[in-house]
Structure 1
Amino acid sequence: MAGVFNKKLQLHGFNNLTKTLSFNIYDICYAQTPRQRQEYIEYIDEEYNAERLTGILTKVADIIGANILNIARQDYEPQGASVTMLIAEDKNKENQQLTNIEEPGPLPESLVCHLDKSHLTVHTYPESHPENGISTFRADIDVSTCGRVSPLRALNYLIHSLESDIVTMDYRVRGFTRSVDGGKHFIDHDIDSIQNFIADDTKERYQMIDVNIYQENIFHTKMMLKNFNLNDYLFGGNTSDLTLEEQRKITDRVKKETLEIFYGKNISG
């Protein structure tokens, strides 16, 4: 199918396939005292405030060659932030080379695509466990495009901008576009896995699992960091402040939290 599109198949009207990437990240830490847990929430709220999130989405729009039509953003009380952007195709770039090649996209460099009445959104969810010291932060980003280029082209930039313990990604192509002879085309590019759009250095750092429904053009990939260093998970302290027994207990809590989020289920024991 994609080979047909690479030969510049004539379409009846606009390519109105909708391609949506849902990109979710999780950051996990251990904050020992109620004060440290509150400070972690405040740190995350400042680090990922609406202004910084707007900058990230602006860069995503630049990578996929979109014009930003409107921005709505809000910092919430007591915590959290949201940003929504309405984007449209860039008329100045529509004649440049478009690509759907199944390979990692760029980092800060721009890439051209063809968009119309599409959107970018991000929402954040910091929270902490009231008893066992575990605190987590989740950010949900949705990139929805209409046209030829997939939002997966922005994936590399998002992963590097939001270095995280766990990343989950869902990609779906919806609707159809019609050729001049009346035939329907339900996808316009080759894709075997979201992993093919992720750089090799990232794949080396993460354990990765795919769940794909090719018949429905639904693709799912989730990633979990392979290497564990307890110091990377301690907020407001380090291992030198802890006994070996405390280190063991905290390690067990953090790893249990990580596995439960990664597999999407509670783990007993």
Structure 2
Amino acid sequence: MKITSVQHIELHGFNNLTKSLSFNMYDICYTKTKEEREAYLDYIDEQYNADRLTKILTHVSDIIGAHVLNVAKQDYVPQGASVTILVSEGPVVEVPDEVYDESPGPLPDNVVLQLDKSHITVHTYPEFHPDEGISTFRADIDVSTCGEISPLKALNYLIHSFETDVMTIDYKVRGFTRDKDGNKLFIDHDISSIQNYIPENVKDQFDMVDINVYQKIFSIQSAS
């Protein structure tokens, strides 16, 4: 795996930069008969069931240096699967229950979950046209991290984990942190293109186009 090195910046205080990588892959197959369509869907269910997707996302967590907190997975009928993994940048220290005894609690039918840092999710969408013979498979993967860990490190692995004809990749950075001199930083690494994090031999297999969307500030005022 080729990982492009990034410049290290000495930060001060809490780093609340959120880095989100959205990886969407599409597979398209012409299934002329009902038997071909069923065989394709069976193949997709075998290749991308919840157990295998969990292994892929767990390895993504290892690559980016995150710690798995919790895993939720589900297969669907007739097809499709979802996996959600909660991760943290470092080991989580458990807090004794008695710490919360005197704090206001939730209403009886509410559930409150304490999340540490980040999450990794995948949802799959196998579909077919009943008349035209086109079967498709889409997988939406989101890797969202806070702190210093970067989801870009897992990009090459994700491309190799899914047999894809078409893919779209979005990368967003939100929030801010500060350097040691107190200056605000809205990104803590240099990046001009997601392609910087994809090996040349992989880029040679696809036609790639960059679309950079720059931030704009909008002011919304209520009518008096």
- The alignment's TM-score, normalised by the length of structure 2, stands at 0.79
- Unpaired runs of at least 5, structure 1: 93-115, 217-269
- The alignment's TM-score, normalised by the length of structure 1, stands at 0.66
If asked which structure has higher relative contact order (CA below 8 Å, sep 6+), I would say 2
Residues 1-269 of structure 1 aligned to structure 2 (within 5 Å): 6=7, 8-11=9-12, 13-91=13-91, 117-179=117-179, 181-215=181-215
| Partners of 2:90 and 2:182 in 1: CA distance | 28
Deviations 1:86-124 (A, max 9, x none): 0012349xxxxxxxxxxxxxxxxxxxxxxx510000000
| Partners of 2:135 and 2:7 in 1: CA distance | 47
Distance verdict in 2 for CA 1:66–1:149, change over 3 Å: closer
Deviations 1:189-209 (A, max 9, x none): 100000110010111110011
CA contact (8 A) 2:67 2:88 kept: yes
Deviations 1:248-269 (A, max 9, x none): xxxxxxxxxxxxxxxxxxxxxx
Shift of 1:148: 1.7
| Partners of 1:7 and 1:58 in 2: CA distance | 26
| Partners of 1:7 and 1:42 in 2: CA distance | 46
| Partners of 1:72 and 1:196 in 2: CA distance | 32
Partner SS for 1:205: coil
| Partners of 2:152 and 2:158 in 1: CA distance | 10
| Partners of 1:7 and 1:202 in 2: CA distance | 27
Greater percentage in helix: 1
CA contact (8 A) 2:123 2:141 kept: yes
Q: How many residues matched?
A: 188
CA contact (8 A) 2:89 2:149 kept: no
Shift of 1:163: 2.3
Distance verdict in 2 for CA 1:143–1:209, change over 3 Å: same
| Partners of 1:132 and 1:7 in 2: CA distance | 53
User: What is the letter of the counterpart of residue 15 of structure 1?
Assistant: N
Aligned residues: percent identity? Answer: 65
Select between 178-187 and 36-45 the one with higher mean Cα deviation. Answer: 178-187
| Partners of 1:211 and 1:186 in 2: CA distance | 20
User: What is the letter of the counterpart of residue 18 of structure 2?
Assistant: T
Other-structure match for 1:250: none
Distance verdict in 2 for CA 1:45–1:10, change over 3 Å: closer
| Partners of 1:157 and 1:67 in 2: CA distance | 18
| Partners of 2:89 and 2:209 in 1: CA distance | 33
Give the RMSD, CA atoms, in angstroms.
Answer: 1.9
Deviations 1:125-171 (A, max 9, x none): 00011112111100010000001232011000000111210011000
